[in-house]
Homo-oligomer: A and B are copies of this chain.
Amino acid sequence: MNKDREAEILKTVDDSIRMEMKTFSEYLQKKGLKITNQRMLVAERIFSLHNHFTAESLLEEFKDQRDKISKATIYRILSIMVEAKLLQEHNFGQDYKYYEHIIGHTHHDHIICGDCGRIVEFMDERIEQLQEQAAASNGFKITGHSLNIYGTCLDPNCPNKK
């Protein structure tokens, strides 16, 4: 993929994610990594997703495309994007990891419905501050945290409600 092709992809891309795509390709260049078709296609797909996804579900998105992308490449791109801080990795207690893109998203925590798997985001500044305090009073400097609330959603319209 050359500069023209990159420009072409950036042009066809939805307005809402053009900035994200640009950030990613700039990151690649800065790191001396190549701007490949696969990387652009996967990034485009990721930035278009508005849900948390897994390596598997992402791969699934390319199943019926003429542009097949291998599982190995998916994992390799995920790892670059996490490194680039464009993507955040989550562990919701299952055996596989979840991801979500974080460009332009502010920090938040998650509530996961044990019935339907729905993931809701929330953020409480008071909790954040109490965490800072807890870490400090135990002699730690925080580098990150993960707060997952597991529960049952009371939504009667929940699609997977048992």
Looking at the complex, which one of B113, B146, B151 makes contact with A148 (CB distance below 8 Å)? B146
Interface readout for A123-162 with B: 1 if CB under 8 Å, 0 if not? 0101100110111001111111111111111110000000
Tell me whether A143 and B135 are in contact (CB under 8 A): no
Q: Is A79 part of the binding interface, using a Cβ–Cβ cutoff of 8 Å?
A: no
A84 CB–B CB distance under 8 Å? no
Could you tell me if B134 and A143 are in contact, using CB atoms closer than 8 angstroms?
A: no
Contact at A151–B135, with CB atoms within 8 Å?
A: yes
- Contact check, A141 vs B151: say whether CB atoms are below 8 A apart: yes
Query: With A126-B130, A134-B124 known to touch, is A145 a contact of B139 (CB < 8 Å)?
Result: no
B113 x A124 contact (CB < 8 A): no
Q: Are B126 and A140 in contact (CB under 8 A)?
A: no
Given contacts A124-B130, A153-B140, contact A145 B145 (CB under 8 A): no
- A120 on the interface (CB 8 Å rule)? yes
Q: Name A residues whose Cβ lies closer than 8 Å to a Cβ of B.
A: 91, 93, 109, 111, 113-114, 120, 122, 124, 126-127, 130-131, 133-135, 138-155
